[in-house]
Structure 1
Amino acid sequence: MQAKSSKTTILDFMRSSSYAPQTAEALIETIPISGNLDHFWKDLLELEENGEIIKTRFGTYGLPEKMGLVVGRFQLTSKGFGFVIPDNKGERPDVFIPPRALGGAMNNDRVMARVESSSGGNKPEGEIIRIITHANNKIVGIFHQSGDFGFVTPDDKRIGQDIYIMKRHFGGAKTNQKVVAEITEWPVERRNAEGKIIEILGNVGDVGLEILSIIKQNDLPLEFPPQVIEASKRVPKSIKQSELEGRRDLRDLPIVTVDGDDAKDLDDAVYVKQLGKDEFLLGVHIADVSYYVKENAVLDKEARERGTSVYLVDRVLPMLPERLSNGICSLNAGEDRLTMSCEMHIDRKGRILSYEIFPSVIHVRHRLSYRIVREILVNGDEELVQKYEDVVPMLKMME
């Protein structure tokens, strides 16, 4: 059996209706497992650690759901009770967990719960018997000193308990300062989590402190690693003629972007022209980021780790360094940019009659905003109509 399929093989075998819990040695014989058994033992251990299978006190293995157990994410409420959201949510209801049965679990932990009874409503009731992975290793909150110890009251009320801080772990923090505490000991029955102060964010009431707290609470990255910055510096700031080979040249079209007034990274642009009485050509042009960010390169790995750009009240935390996100990968007006284009032949009701997708190069004519478009189309603002007179007919057609 190949290593990459052994986990699936084990799970599929256990999901069969006739399966009864077996020892690892019996599984090797009855599945059967051949070849290098090291892969089997490694995958069996990983499945157990991840809560996908469970080892009984008799040394046999089975699926949690066949033993009255539920594995999933724990969602704690500010009132002290919570719910386990099952991994297989479509197949099983959430499990209600009363305050007495939390088992030291904190909000967003991945847990295993024993289903004990029906709580009288639609949701079964249970008890958390194992914490598979902890979600909150760092807590943002307000520090208070009380003699030789202190505690951090979390900003997130769903954490449900203060973090105990010994004096030697104050890290210079003073009462009423916003801090980041790292948990050193997880909570157990009737005992709070313990931690140490690893960062002081500021004094309560400081300007900008709440935004910084949100950033830290969600573990959002403020800076890019040095190797990512170095990789971004190797990306050119402008397009070379040699890069246009194999791309359709659309630079003569009056293509525009339409975004919010304060948008920084502009990644899509549009163009429309009439083909007949009730038919149109709609062009949608997306920045060809993949030309500059190659799969599994350092820029790609960092972007995947971040998942998305994050827009906050006073700043943007981009998925890619500014040289790309606001530069060569942003469809800035007056600049040639590499794009992937989809041109659609549509009717007046928006139905697509045909379409074509292809690599292209465009030159955005204008950077428009929703406000500008609204002022032109709804209010007929004379100054704006004159400023953008070359695309006003197209905007009316788009409308």
Structure 2
Amino acid sequence: MDQTFEKRKKVIYDFICDDFYIPMKVKEIATVLQVSKEQRRDLQEVLDALVEEGKITLSKRGKYSKGQTKRITGTFQANIRGFGFVMVEGEDEDIFIPGENVNGAFQGDEVECIITGAPGGKRKEGKIVRIVSHQVKKIVGLYEKSKSFGFVRPDNQRYLKDIYIPAGKEMGAMDGHKVVVELTSYGQEHAKPEGKIVEIIGHVNDPGADILSIVKDYDLPTEFPEKVLNQAVRVGKDVSEADCAGRLDLRDWQMVTIDGEDAKDLDDAVSLTMKDENYQLGVHIADVTNYVQEKSALDREALKRGTSVYLADRVIPMLPHVLSNGICSLNAGEDRLALSCIMTVSPKGEVIDHQIAETVIRVDKRMSYTGVSKVLAEEPEALEEDKDFVPMIQKMQELSTILRERRGKRGSIDFDFPETKIELDEKGKPINIKPYERNSATKIIEDFMLLANETVAEEYFWREVPFLYRTHEVPDEEKIKKLSTFINNFGYHIHVHDEVKPKEIQKLLSQVEGTPEEALISRLTLRSMCQAKYTTENTGHFGLAAKYYTHFTSPIRRYPDLQIHRIIKENLRGRLNENRIEHYDKILPEVAKQCSDRERLAEETEREVVKMKKAEYMRMHIGEEYEGVISGVTKWGIYVELPNTVEGLVHVVDLRDDHYNFIEQTYEMVGEHTGKTYKLGEKVRVRVSDADKLLRTINFELA
């Protein structure tokens, strides 16, 4: 055993891999190889190294065998407390990596790991054995200058170390600047990562610098290339008579757009007339493909972005404003090119006939959700102002109610979580936070768009041509079983046969409505669902209980809609020949993946901005008291949600009147001596004790 370490490893490895070898413990190996007591530590180190590299395996009984431990490749997600998780594509459960097994992995790295155990049958534990590649190239953070060098403190707390910036690599950044740093070294266990500053976002106190920092952290594009902008200006010409040739002329149809007051990209208009007892519903969508040609600079940029991103102080559009707010926006009184889905709907809400056509339209009036709600509430002023549209609006509500009831009967699930509206002042400071109200007008548009999406998806499914669908898989059986076990504690039950049906989930949500546990069970049910995505195969939409579903109605802000508009138009014009079908078969799988990935990124960015602005807002209200509802109970404390959608944590150490224990079965905190309980749905009064904008956390204490 006096060779070099690598040679010793080879000797031991060859010995264990010998055909005559049987699994042995370290003592037995030492005896066979005649290793002295003094050298056994060396032998143990060699064996440990071979196991770590996955070349040999160690059984629970301490026996070493030949055969490679299965290596799993995934993405490393670091935690601020030093441990992390490896996320494996296609797997629902992450692998927990203890701090001592991180092995120098950096947030976002593609890594190989081996499973080291699953304590008590719980989450799998593993060890990182190789870093395949570093995925994160740039990091956003706050620059701090020293005499001859500087540091960048990352905004994202998953980057556990500051980044060292050598002299001359700071690009003129000063103390307090938010910057983008390009990594030149990822550091070691006892050495910081190193980098150079490539962009100065602005001073930490500059208006909008905080949101822009998140945008840069998620690597979202903020500017359009000059070539794309020039092309948008060139194609964005007014509609001419030549443009209208061969299109169905609907300019004399009464139609309106219904959107939020501050919306600028109006990509859908609606019309409704009666045809005997049936409704003739028109959903008219901006014909964006007329201006964004396939493979053009505009098209390539739109696919790269995948979607528009809506943040508290800005929109990062998929298409330049000259198009999205201009010729592609269905502005009232102006001729616009559209792709229309005109449906004849029975009094039972069934589409008994439909037509999809290239059209030219002229919207009569731009209406808002608030204005339409006032008409439906029969407010005299609104009835007078919109008197020409009142009969149509009232019929729209009638049809909307029919459609919603029909969807409900088939099992469509409605997770009615309130979205957050954040109002900012001119300096970007949050001055108000409140829930977005869904009213009768928003429901009308939602119901009509869903119907158009289903109608288009069904037609193109039966045409058997390449297409993009919006699909939502049946939930994983294990997740539903866990949910079923949990809700049994509250007296609820889900019938699961071969697979769960949407109607079972819908029934559960209606049973918990208005109960203290509604928020928690709704959230846990949502987490049990798969994520919706774009696919080339139509596998149905579980959440909507729909056999056929696509995204047809928003081509200004979603690339999948733009993509299927092209296919529809080629089909309408008789150009969907074998070559084009082959072309779409080839490109659509990658388009579906890109659009699904970009959607996830946009959602995450939007969520982080909301969390940050909520923390900033509550930071200005420290010491103030609010009435709230217990929305979650965990072993580390109770979560309380305020009426304005802000949620904060009352940490268990701040429950000072007793020692509290978490009862997992019933999600309660119970006082050891007093027997006092804190339950879901219980109203409590809280005081804001802390709020951290950088960590995006809010802490309460009971008042």
TM-score in terms of structure 1 length: 0.78
Larger deviation: 301-310 or 348-357?
Answer: 348-357
Number of residues of Structure 1 aligned to a counterpart in Structure 2:
332
Q: Secondary structure at the match of 1:221?
A: coil
Equivalent runs, 1:345-360 vs 2, <5 Å: 345-360=344-359
1:241 aligns with 2:248: no
| Inter-partner Cα distance in structure 2 for 1:314 and 1:303 | 22
Deviation at 1:196?
Answer: 1.2
* Structure holding more helix per residue: 2
Task: Provide the identity percentage.
Answer: 47
One-letter code aligned to 1:88: G
1:291 aligns with 2:293: no
CA 183–364 in structure 1, closer or farther in 2 if over 3 Å, else same: same
Residue of structure 2 in register with 1:398 after alignment: 396
Residue of structure 2 in register with 1:382 after alignment: 380
Equivalent runs, 1:195-274 vs 2, <5 Å: 195-274=195-274
| Inter-partner Cα distance in structure 1 for 2:161 and 2:122 | 28
Native 8 Å contact 1:103 1:188 kept in 2: no
Residue of structure 2 in register with 1:306 after alignment: 305
Residue of structure 1 in register with 2:82 after alignment: 80
One-letter code aligned to 1:347: S
Deviation at 1:121?
Answer: 4.6
| Inter-partner Cα distance in structure 1 for 2:395 and 2:334 | 25
One-letter code aligned to 1:173: A
Runs of 4+ in 1 over 6 A off after TM superposition: none
Deviation at 1:349?
Answer: 4.2
Deviation at 1:80?
Answer: 2.4
CA 231–157 in structure 1, closer or farther in 2 if over 3 Å, else same: same
| Inter-partner Cα distance in structure 2 for 1:254 and 1:313 | 34
Q: Secondary structure at the match of 2:325?
A: helix
Q: Secondary structure at the match of 1:371?
A: helix
| Inter-partner Cα distance in structure 2 for 1:385 and 1:134 | 61
Deviation at 1:295?
Answer: 1.2
| Inter-partner Cα distance in structure 2 for 1:346 and 1:109 | 52
* Structure holding more strand per residue: 1
Residue of structure 1 in register with 2:120 after alignment: 120
CA 339–199 in structure 1, closer or farther in 2 if over 3 Å, else same: same
What do you get for the CA RMSD once the two structures are aligned?
2.0
Q: Secondary structure at the match of 1:325?
A: helix
Residue of structure 2 in register with 1:152 after alignment: 152
> Tell me, which stretches of 5 or more residues in structure 2 are unaligned?
1-53, 56-67, 398-703
Q: Secondary structure at the match of 1:159?
A: coil
Residue of structure 1 in register with 2:575 after alignment: none
| Inter-partner Cα distance in structure 2 for 1:374 and 1:99 | 55
Native 8 Å contact 2:106 2:186 kept in 1: no
Deviation at 1:188?
Answer: 3.0
Equivalent runs, 1:93-112 vs 2, <5 Å: 93-112=93-112
| Inter-partner Cα distance in structure 2 for 1:299 and 1:332 | 22
Native 8 Å contact 2:236 2:326 kept in 1: no
Deviation at 1:102?
Answer: 2.2
| Inter-partner Cα distance in structure 1 for 2:394 and 2:219 | 44
| Inter-partner Cα distance in structure 1 for 2:224 and 2:360 | 29
| Inter-partner Cα distance in structure 2 for 1:103 and 1:261 | 52
Larger radius of gyration: 2
Larger deviation: 331-340 or 165-174?
Answer: 165-174
CA 86–247 in structure 1, closer or farther in 2 if over 3 Å, else same: same
TM-score in terms of structure 2 length: 0.45
Q: Secondary structure at the match of 2:90?
A: coil
Residue of structure 2 in register with 1:5 after alignment: none
Native 8 Å contact 1:105 1:187 kept in 2: no
CA 76–336 in structure 1, closer or farther in 2 if over 3 Å, else same: same
| Inter-partner Cα distance in structure 1 for 2:353 and 2:248 | 18
Deviation at 1:190?
Answer: 3.1
CA offsets per residue over residues 53-90 of structure 1, 9 Å max, x none? xxx99xxxxxxxx9512222222223222211212225
> Tell me, which stretches of 5 or more residues in structure 1 are unaligned?
1-55, 58-65
Deviation at 1:107?
Answer: 2.8
One-letter code aligned to 1:238: D
Residue of structure 2 in register with 1:18 after alignment: none
Q: Secondary structure at the match of 2:332?
A: coil
| Inter-partner Cα distance in structure 2 for 1:352 and 1:181 | 55
Residue of structure 1 in register with 2:139 after alignment: 139
CA 89–233 in structure 1, closer or farther in 2 if over 3 Å, else same: same
CA offsets per residue over residues 350-383 of structure 1, 9 Å max, x none? 33222221111111111111111112212x3333
